[in-house]
Structure 1
Amino acid sequence: MKRPNGTYVGGGRPGIGRPVAVMAAAAVMIAMTTLISLNTGFIRLSPVDVLRTLLGAGTEQQTLILFEFRLPRIVLSILAGAGLALAGSILQSVSRNALADPGILGINAGAGLMVVLVVAYFPGNESIPVYALPLLAFAGAGAAAAVIFALSYIRGKGLSTTQLILSGVGISAGIGAAMLVLTIRLDPNEYQFVSLWLAGTIWGTSWTFVKALLPWLAVLVPLLLIKARTLDVLTTSDETAVGLGASISRERFIVLGAAVALAGACVALGGNIAFIGLVAPHLARRLVGPRHGALLPISALLGGLLLLAADTIGRSILQPEEIPTGIVVAVIGAPYFIYLLVKLRTSS
C-alpha cells in the first residue's frame, strides 16, 4: 500500500500468477522490440534478412552489421536499463521517497564526472580503460551519494525526503559545473564525445562494453533479489523494522551500496540516462504492488524495455541522424516526474 506522502510500505501479496504474467509479457515485448531494433538503422535489413542472419545464413555485410554493431548496443541498452531501474527501485524504497532516481539525486552526475575525467586525461577513446570505467564511476557515484545522504539526514528523524531531492539537485548542479570546466581542456573530438555522453547517447557499441558491465550485474542483481524480504522490512518505519529484527544501518548500507554501484556502472558504460530509475519502478508497483520479490525483477524488465525502446526510437525517427537516447527518455520521464511532484504535493 502507499502512504499519503507517496512513500511505500509492504502491502498485500498480489499472488504468483500476476507477477509471472507481467514478467512474461515484458519479456515478449523486449523480444519484439529487439527484432524491430535489429531492423532499424542507416542500412535497413528486412525481418527475413534479420532471421536468416541470426541463423547464420546472412551475407558477410549483414553479419557484420547485426553482430558487431546492432546487437551489442541492444544488449547494452537492455542491461543498462535493467540496472538503472533496479537502482531506482532500491533508492525509492530505502529512502521512502517516490521521487528518488539516480539521475535526479545526482548519483549519475558523480559517475559522469569520473567519465569526463577519464576522457580528459586519456588521449583518445581507444585508450579509455573500459573495464576500469565502472569502478571509477562507482567511486564518483558513491562519493556523490554519500554527500547527498549526509546532507539529507536529520538527527532523530532520519532521512528527509525534501532534503534528499534538494541536496541531489544541488550536488548535481555543482558537479555539472565542474564537468563544464573540465571540457575546456578537451580537443574537438573528445568534446563531441562528452557532449553526446551527457545527452544520453548509448556510446558502448561493442561487445567489450557488454563484457565490462556483465560482472557488475551478475554480482549485484542476485544480491538485491536475495535482499527482497529485507527491503520489504526497510520500507516500514524504523521502529517496525527494528522490532522485526532488521539491522537497519547495515542493511541500508548494503542495498544502497549495491544500488549506487549498479547506477554508476550502467551510466559509465551506457550513457547519462535519467528517469529510467523513476518511471520503471512506478510502473512495476502499479502492476504488481510493492512486494520486492516481484517488484525488483519486473522493474528490471521494464527498465530494459524502456531504454531499448527509447534507443530504437532515437535511432529511427530522424534517420540518418540520431537523437540521443537520454533525450527520448527525458521526453517521457520529465512530464511523469512533474505529475508525481504535483500528486505528492496535493496528497500531503
Structure 2
Amino acid sequence: MIHPSLIRKQRLIIAILSALIVGTFVIGAGIGPSPLPYDRILPTLIGQGEFKEEFILFSVRLPRIIITLLAGMALALSGAILQGITRNDLADPGIIGINSGAGVGVAVFYLFFPVSDGSFVFLLPVVAFVAALLTAIAIYLFSYNRKTGLEPVRLVLTGVGFSMALSGVMILLISSVDPFKVDFIARWLAGNVWGADWPFIWAILPWLVVLIPFTLYKANRLNIMGLGEPAAIGVGIRLERERFVLLLTAVALASSAVSVTGGIAFIGLMAPHIAKALVGPRNQLFIPVAVLLGGWLLIVADTVGRNLVEPNGIPTGIMVALIGAPYFMYLLMKK
C-alpha cells in the first residue's frame, strides 16, 4: 500500500510539472524569428487571430512543441522501462544502442525505399520500430548468460559497442548517397526535430495512448522484478516473457520518438532518475512524473536550442547531450 503522503506529493509534483509545461509552451510559442505577442496567443488559439498569427502558431510553433512533448514523454518512459527490466540505472535507449538501430533503419528506408509523402509519415515509426527491435534482440542475446541470466553491466557495454558499430554503418550509408539526402540524415543524427508537422503528431500519438496505460498496468511487475530474479520467480512471474514484452514496449516508445525527432539520447536516463529522487522508486509513483518530466525537458531543450543561435539554432539532440553527458558521467562514477 502506498502511503497517502506520497500520493499527495506525487499529485503536487504532477501539478507543478503540468504548470511548467504550459508555461514553457507559452514562452516557446511567443519567441522565435517571427515573435508572437504573448497577449495574442490565447485569442489566436481560439480562432480570433490574424492570418500571420495563426500561421506562426498553428503551422510552425504548435506542432513542433507538441512533437517534442510527446517524444520526450516516450523517451522518458522507454528509459524507465529499460532501467526496470535490467536493474541498471545507466540504461537508456540512446546509450545502449536502440536509437542507433532505429536510425540505421530510418536511413535505409529513406535512402533506398522511396514512397509517397503521405505513407512516409506513418511508415517511418514502424520501420524504426522493426530496426530498433532487431538491434535490441541482438544486444539482449549478447548480454545474456545461461548461468546468471541478463547481466546489467554487460548489457550497457554491449549496447555502447552496438551503438558505435551502427554509427559506422551510418557513415558508410552517408558516403554512398547524394548530398541532398545526406542533409536529412545529418540532421537526424544531430537530433534536429525535423518532423514538426501535424501528420507526425498523429503518427506518434497512438503509440503513447496505448503504451503509457500498458506500462502503468505492468508497474507492479516492474516493482517485483526490481527486487531481483529470485523474488520475481518466487511470486510466479514468468521472468523472460515479461522482460521480452516490456523490452518490446520500450523499443516501440523509443523508436516512435526518434523516428520524428532524430537521435536524441539522455532524456530516458535523466527523467526517471529525477522522478525517483522526487517521489521514490515505486513505479506507480515515479512513472507519471518521469513521463511529464521527460516531455518538459525536451521542450525546454528545443526552445532554448532553436532560439540560442541565429538563424537555424542548435539541434535539440545536442542541447540535451550538453546536459545529459555530464549527468551520465556523474551516475557512472556514482555506480
Shorter-chain TM-score tier: over 0.9
1:206 aligns to what?
197
Q: Distance in 2 between matches of 1:125 and 1:336?
A: 41
Paired positions, count: 335
Q: Secondary structure in 2 aligned to 1:86?
A: helix
2:89 aligns to what?
98
TM-score by length of 1: 0.93
Q: Distance in 1 between matches of 2:312 and 2:251?
A: 33
Q: 1:308 to 1:222 in 2, by over 3 A?
A: same
Deviation of 1:325 (Å): 0.1
Deviation of 1:13 (Å): 8.4
1:120 aligns to what?
111
1:180 aligns to what?
171
Aligned positions of 1:157-196 closer than 5 A: 157-196=148-187
Q: Does 1:60 align with 2:70?
A: no
Q: Distance in 2 between matches of 1:51 and 1:115?
A: 37
Q: Distance in 2 between matches of 1:199 and 1:24?
A: 32
Q: Secondary structure in 1 aligned to 2:94?
A: coil
Aligned positions of 1:266-285 closer than 5 A: 266-285=257-276
Of 22, 28, 32, which aligns to 1:31? 22
Q: Secondary structure in 2 aligned to 1:129?
A: helix
Contact 1:119 1:125 in 2 (8 A): no
Which amino acid in the other structure matches residue 233 of structure 1? Answer: I
Q: Distance in 2 between matches of 1:220 and 1:119?
A: 26
Q: 1:162 to 1:138 in 2, by over 3 A?
A: same
Q: Does 1:229 align with 2:215?
A: no
Deviation of 1:190 (Å): 1.3
Q: Distance in 2 between matches of 1:126 and 1:47?
A: 34
Deviation of 1:55 (Å): 2.3
Deviations along 1:180-210, one digit per CA (max 9) or x if unpaired, are 1111232222111110110001111110000
1:329 aligns to what?
320
1:146 aligns to what?
137
Deviation of 1:24 (Å): 0.7
Q: Which of 155-164 and 78-87 deviates more?
A: 155-164
Q: Distance in 1 between matches of 2:5 and 2:334?
A: 24
Of 216, 241, 257, which aligns to 1:250? 241
2:102 aligns to what?
111
1:133 aligns to what?
124
2:66 aligns to what?
75
Q: Distance in 2 between matches of 1:194 and 1:333?
A: 22
Please identify runs of 4+ aligned residues in structure 1 that moved more than 4 A.
10-14, 122-125
Ranges in structure 2 where 5+ consecutive residues have no aligned partner: none
1:310 aligns to what?
301
Q: Secondary structure in 2 aligned to 1:16?
A: helix
Ranges in structure 1 where 5+ consecutive residues have no aligned partner: 1-9
Q: Distance in 1 between matches of 2:317 and 2:40?
A: 30
Deviation of 1:211 (Å): 0.4
Deviation of 1:221 (Å): 1.2
Q: Distance in 1 between matches of 2:115 and 2:231?
A: 53
Q: Distance in 1 between matches of 2:230 and 2:151?
A: 17
Deviation of 1:321 (Å): 2.7
Q: Distance in 1 between matches of 2:286 and 2:136?
A: 23
1:89 aligns to what?
80
Which amino acid in the other structure matches residue 213 of structure 2? Answer: P
Which amino acid in the other structure matches residue 80 of structure 2? Answer: S
Q: Which of 326-335 and 293-302 deviates more?
A: 293-302
Quick one: percent identity of the two aligned structures?
45
TM-score by length of 2: 0.96
Q: Distance in 1 between matches of 2:173 and 2:119?
A: 17
Deviation of 1:123 (Å): 5.3
Deviation of 1:14 (Å): 6.3
Which amino acid in the other structure matches residue 230 of structure 1? Answer: R
Q: Distance in 1 between matches of 2:60 and 2:215?
A: 31
Of 6, 9, 19, which aligns to 1:18? 9
1:240 aligns to what?
231
